[in-house]
Chain A
Amino acid sequence: MTRQKLLFLLVFLLILLGSSLLQAGTVNGIVRNDAGILLSNQKISFSGSDTLGERIVLSDLEGKYRIELQAAIYRVYHILGQQKVFLQEISVDESGEVTIESTVEEHLDETLQAIKEFRIGSSTLSSDDYQNLAEIINPFPDKGKGWLYGSVYEFHRNDNFDARNFFDPVGEPLPEYKRNQFGATVGVILSPNLTFQGNYDGLRIIQGSTEVSHVPTSLMRNGDFSELEEALIDPFSGEQFAGNRIPLDRINPVALKVLQVIPSPNLDDFDRNFVNNDPFVNYQDNWSTRMDYTAEDNSKLIINYSLTDRDRNDVEDLPAFTSHRSDRYQAVSISFNKTLSERLVSYSRLSFNRSVSNGLSPYSGSDGLLTSLGIRGLLLDDPLEEGYPDFELSGYADPGDGNNPTTSARNGLELDLSFTYAMNNHSIQFGTEIGGSQLNNYRSGSRHRGRFDFSGEFTGDAFADFLMGFPNASSKGIGTDRVDIRRKHWEFFLRESWKVHPKLDLSMGITYSFQQPYHSIANNVSSFYPLLFEPPANGKIITFGTQETRNLGFAGVQDGSLVYPDRNNWAPRLSAAFSPLGSNQLVLRGSYTLFYDPPDERDFSRRLTRNYPFFYIVSAESLQDQPTINLEDPFTGATPPAITIQGISPNLSSPYFHFWRLSVQNELAPNWNIEASYSGRRGIHTNRSIPANVPTPGEGDIQERRPNPEYGKFTIFDDGGNYSANEFRLSLDKRFSKGLSLNSGMIWNKSITDYHWGDPNNPRDLTAEKGPTSWQAEKRFYLRYIIDIPAHFIFPWRTNAGFYKWVLDGWRLSGITDIAGGRPFTVYDSSDPNNDGVYGDRPDRIGSGALSSPSVDQWFNTADFVAAQPYSFGNSGRGILKGPGRQTWDISVIKQTRLNQGDIVELRIAFFNALNNVNFDNPVANFNDDSFGTIFGADRAREIEVALKYSF
């Protein structure tokens, strides 16, 4: 290390405090360098007369020292190695105290200085030699880092390696599957202070999918429903069609045209009679670079840039509707950390990211397609939107181009700045995060092509309704669906870690965050006022950012928004760790955290600008039991079109979550830990989406019975939800040593939400929606392990040379096992038997639904569910049944071979779902579906991946 030449400065202060009892004066000193940093371990010498001799004192960690001296004149020196550097002369009075502040050349205790300079590298070692030496001294399973290092790799899988999915047709080749993931990494150590890393990762997937569905049979396509056991009813006469056949002249011409894109069955199973094995294609290229620079003062600058391009198609049940999607994601960040003083460290980061996505239907740009179907009232301005309307056929695969086109361009900019200040047993961190995000050209589904629902309520079969052209509901979007919204956010935090006692650590903190509600730059925001579950007849649609809304009391709402800002988000946290035996062998931990999870971009983008007159949905619903609208003229039928409303509660606040955890961790033996923990989570004001303007159950036209019949269905996004979860976990871990690493645990979990999204059974009683969450199993076991296969025990004749070393060394087994119980699901009836226009009705439950031997054909006892009484709510609860459990064993065998020059070749064979367990999906839970209780899908069967990697 090069010693700096420093200035010497003396500030001399005398403070005399009378104390006749003192036999000597006291000297209080502070030592710092010329940068003002307090220096510890500095030797300060006080030389008095010959009789007094020399006294030496060492500065403490805060650069302070204290020494008592007999009254005399002293010469003060800083001991710098073997030298003494004179600082000043002081006079010590018997009854006084002297304070000295000294600026000295930074100097460690001599031995510490030597330790500081202890290093392996030297000018006589080349950079490459040094890196090789690093590899020798700090050996690592991976290749060492020369001045130029990196790897190239290829991971390959194909259908020849894979087992058959449970639902793939037997006797036929497996769906096509080719997956290649390849790439390269390069690192260059340009100097000890400057490194560069680059990475490319490519992915090419061509994968035949197994989308199983139910399509109309060849007879049905011609109106012949004689295969059905149920009678096919003529909706006008109320009588059964003769021979269960619809006369050809009564088949709707629109349906005939759409029939061209509905395939005939290709499987023998009547319920699951069609499989789409069209390949799913996913191409992805990712580039990333990184530069690390370390300055002389240990400041560190890191610059990252990454670019990802992805092209893929989305395979649907029906091959004609496979869509295409492309995404580009870029991110750049600059981070810088600097040690400002011995106590103060700063960290800063500036980042920017941008992503652009486009999803298109296969018919996008094919001008005139929609018009050619002959559905009155559907017109498109943008050829990009061309495609088929959505036809929702209960019990059948649904033809249609869905939400496409979907587009978005997102920009995000963020600045993070934080400081850590250390003070004895305290470490205080404070900082801020400031940022903004934009969502431009967002389109998530205009419904300009229309949507038509066929439930089978007229003939008894949804496809028969479709053939005759009698939807029970139709809807279409009007206006532009383009969204351009913005938001800023900032956060300030203060956290402290306090080492209260060698056995007790405390940590506390508080964060204030503000997330501005998203606002539209086009100021095209409107909503119904007042936004109530039962909208009054005198209510109306108001446009925000106008004098009218300001007069109504919305002055605090930013133009382009309709939500008051939530400025009350203070989030405290507290945690403690207690080690009763010291040294963290046995640790008891407890923590409490409150955090906010404000509504995100999706919550606003799908609602903010989606109301009359900017963008809105008009819908028409047929009378029950009698078709009053038809496919050729679906919007001027029996009932007038009604405008739907997408509302956001003006007082929408950020949901917040209490999170608490208690744990006991014990080190059973070196590297072995066992831990028992309990954690809980409680969500308050969680967001939900409620259907409103809903009539009470009853006969007759739904629209006429709505609280405000001038409008259609409302959807109100508010913050009235709740969530709770409790989890007990028992884990046993072994940190990697002696060739073995192990993480294992058993989790018991219970999580409950009330109404969250979708259509409830009874919108006026959302507390009845309380039930287990659908995404979490109650029990789960996990096991993760890595085992170095000890070849020298298996093959004791092994030698350290040649063939044996190549073949027998470097074997490793790696595995992940997950075993989980079934996830809850809800039985519902989409046919809306209570006739309230909300399709989450539930049937009556007359039994447990349990079966002693559930199967894919009947997972639960469907006879335990019966239709609810007409115009009433069924008593079946939410999440009352559980789906099939899941079990996966992923196992990899790895062989690393070191080449003579130190390079490494790694061969890896990975078996995903190695035991080929069949992990079924949840069954069809729609009581109104012909396939009620039947399972249609399963997760992937066993797959094998072969990988080769070369590290240099």
Chain B
Amino acid sequence: MNKYRIILYIFLLPACLAPLSSSVQAESIDSPFQDWSEKYSLNILNESPWANNETYIRQLRGVGSGIQGEKEIYNTYFVRFLSAKPIRKAFARVRELHIDYAKMGESEKSTFQKENQKAVDMDLKDWIVVSVAFRSNVPREESRVDQFLMGQTTETLKTRAYLSTAKFPRIEIADYIPPTEKIVGAKFIFPRTKDGMDIVTAGDEKIVFEFDAPGSDPLLRTTFEIEKMMLEGELIL
């Protein structure tokens, strides 16, 4: 490879990567979710300012180590702001793309579309909702965390799950909904206000979700940047 080609790569590389890094911004979050591509929707669900995933890895040491053929245990928590409309739109779009319309009658299609739209349009002005799903490459780890999430209640999580901002170091959970399915996972519901004040505002730097969860060390702690959640001057959360 001659040096001119290397220089060419150096200049072309950022140009090639630029569309990827700004893809969320380039497509319109405000456009109807029916217009979204699957790739864009999945990007919203996993790479957007409203979605983080946290992976905790345990490497097993030595010859012959391993659990069921695994040498590294990957435990991943998928954390999303379900109260943020883009997340619900992305869920709705992926769901829509994977529904088998051919098997549905007209009334079923209509009902499905209405339900999907209703899920997107739900009014969450009083609540911030965080969804937490879990996956592991070792089935028994999944089973363990599933058992934990199913067994929790709002009360038991009051000492284990928080939202934190600069003004409010620990906002207690207001309600908890155990997983009704694995994709969305458990739902942690927090109030948007405390003592009459918004717990998060556009002026904040970040909002942190903390969860004393099994398989995390010492606790699941994931940070979301407020600035990136702003769209046309409005905080989308």
Contacts and interface: CB of A to CB of B under 8 A. Distances in A.
B28 interface: no
A582 B169 contact: yes
Contacts of B170: 499, 502, 582-583
A818 to B, nearest CB: 8
Contact of B151 (A111, A157, A300): A300
B124 interface: yes
A130 B94 CA distance: 11
Contacts of B108: 124
A230 B221 CA distance: 71
Interface stretch (A386-394, A422-430, A708-716, A839-847): A422-430
B54 A735 contact: yes
B231 interface: no
B16 interface: yes
Contact of A584 (B16, B66, B210): B210
B98 interface: yes
B25 interface: no
A262 B76 CA distance: 57
A163 to B, nearest CB: 14
B47 to A, nearest CB: 11
Contact of A122 (B16, B71, B112, B124): B112
A115 B124 contact: yes
Given A118-B82, A119-B184, A302-B147, A583 B210 contact: yes
Given A115-B82, A136-B42, A786-B59, A120 B181 contact: yes
B76 A111 contact: no
Contacts of A199: 68
A53 interface: no
Interface in B3-38: 9, 12-13, 16, 38
Contact of B129 (A115, A122, A427, A796): A115
A192 interface: yes
A203 interface: yes
B177 A116 contact: yes
Interface in A903-945: 908, 910, 912, 940, 943, 945
Interface residues of A, number: 100
B98 A129 contact: yes
Contact of A121 (B16, B38, B153, B181): B181
B200 interface: no
Contact of B74 (A125, A142, A203, A890): A142
B85 interface: no
A40 B174 contact: yes
A636 interface: no
Interface string A765-803: 000000000000000000010100000010010000000
Interface in A133-160: 133-134, 136-142, 151, 153, 155, 157
Contact of A342 (B112, B133, B153): B153
B174 A114 contact: no
A181 interface: yes
A579 B137 CA distance: 33
Contact of A133 (B98, B127, B139): B98
Contact of A111 (B9, B66, B127): B127
Contacts of A300: 146-147, 150-151
A404 interface: no
Contacts of A125: 98-100
Interface in B67-121: 68-69, 71-72, 74, 76, 78, 82-83, 88, 91, 94-95, 98-100, 103-104, 108, 112, 118-119
A302 B150 CA distance: 13
Given A118-B88, A120-B91, A741 B99 contact: no
Contact of B208 (A420, A426, A583): A583
B175 A108 contact: yes
Contacts, number: 251
Contact of A124 (B104, B133, B137): B104
B152 interface: yes
A331 B108 CA distance: 49
B199 interface: no
B64 A425 contact: no
Interface string B116-144: 00110011111101000101010110010
Contacts of A890: 61-62
Given A112-B189, A124-B103, A912-B63, A40 B154 contact: yes
B198 interface: no
Contact of B12 (A151, A579, A796): A796
B104 A583 contact: no
Query: Chain B at the A interface: mostly helix, strand, loop or mixed?
Result: mixed
B159 A497 contact: yes
B164 interface: yes
Interface in B183-237: 183-184, 187, 189, 208, 210, 219, 221, 223
A115 B122 contact: yes
Nearest to A182: B69
A153 B137 CA distance: 14
B119 A298 contact: no
A94 to B, nearest CB: 28
Nearest to A784: B59
A197 interface: yes
B194 to A, nearest CB: 11
Contacts of B69: 151, 153, 155, 183, 185, 201, 949
Interface string A421-443: 01111110000000000000000
Contacts of B72: 786, 814
Contact of A339 (B12, B16, B100, B153): B153
Nearest to B101: A124
Interface string A291-328: 01010001010100000000000000000000000000
Contact of A138 (B118, B135, B164, B180): B135
Contacts of A290: 139-140, 143
A422 B55 contact: no
A142 to B, nearest CB: 4
Nearest to A816: B61
A345 B175 contact: no
Contacts of A122: 95, 99, 112
Nearest to A579: B169
Interface in A187-205: 187, 192, 195, 197, 199, 201, 203
A113 to B, nearest CB: 10
A908 B72 CA distance: 12
A142 B142 CA distance: 13
Contact of B174 (A61, A117, A337, A427): A61
B71 A908 contact: yes
Nearest to A671: B54
Given A40-B174, A111-B124, A181 B64 contact: yes
Contacts of A338: 151
A300 B157 CA distance: 18
B128 to A, nearest CB: 11
A948 to B, nearest CB: 10
24 contacts: A40-B174, A115-B83, A115-B127, A116-B180, A117-B180, A119-B180, A119-B183, A120-B91, A120-B94, A120-B181, A120-B183, A125-B99, A137-B45, A151-B69, A155-B66, A337-B151, A343-B155, A426-B159, A498-B159, A582-B164, A735-B54, A737-B55, A743-B59, A890-B61
Interface of A: 1, 40-41, 61, 108-109, 111-112, 114-122, 124-126, 129-130, 132-134, 136-142, 151, 153, 155, 157, 179, 181, 183, 185, 187, 192, 195, 197, 199, 201, 203, 290, 292, 294, 298, 300, 302, 335, 337-339, 341-343, 345, 347, 420, 422-427, 497-499, 502-503, 579, 582-584, 667, 670, 735-737, 741, 743, 784, 786, 793, 796, 814, 816, 890, 892, 908, 910, 912, 940, 943, 945, 949
Closest 5 CB pairs of A and B: A582-B169, A422-B155, A153-B69, A583-B164, A502-B170
